Amino acid sequence: MAGMNDILKCELCGKVIMILEEGGRRTICCDQLMVRLPEQFDKSNKGSHSVHIEELPEGIRVRAGDVNTSRKERHAFEWIEATDGKNVLIKRLSPGEQPVAEFQITGPLIKALAYCPDHGIWSSNPQAPQP
């Protein structure tokens, strides 16, 4: 069963959802169970899927992968998320847009995620608390 803020994907149609409220039942799409996407972390912090957070005066800037990679190329991110353990902010990326997002969110436990449709969810810090 999926937990709060888990991200699920249908392996047939590609639909991606986030669980906002646990319901106690299984999540079905296309007559099959949706699969929970685990968070992945690039330990080298230099790869095409690494997620970086930069502090700004009034928030953060999140950069996913290589900023020279557009959505038209491989490793194209579709959205970037930031959370402080209570709030979740998401920026959807347009085709050709660089994988960079700015959020007005601060705190000691900020975590950022980025979604690549080919390779799943990538995290800036897998040990940071979930909302």
> What pLDDT score does 57 carry?
94
Instruction: State the virtual CA torsion across 13, 131, 63, 43 in degrees, nearest 10.
Output: -90
> What pLDDT score does 71 carry?
47
Query: Nearest Cα to 90, choosing from 108, 68, 71, 105?
Result: 105
> What pLDDT score does 113 carry?
94
DSSP annotation of 72 reads T
First CA to last CA across the chain, in angstroms? 17
| Residue spans of the chain under pLDDT 70 | 1-4, 44-46, 66-75, 126-131
Q: What is the pTM of this model?
A: 0.83
Structural domains of the chain sorted by starting position, each given as residue range(s) with its CATH number in brackets: 7-36 (no CATH), 39-123 (2.60.40.730)
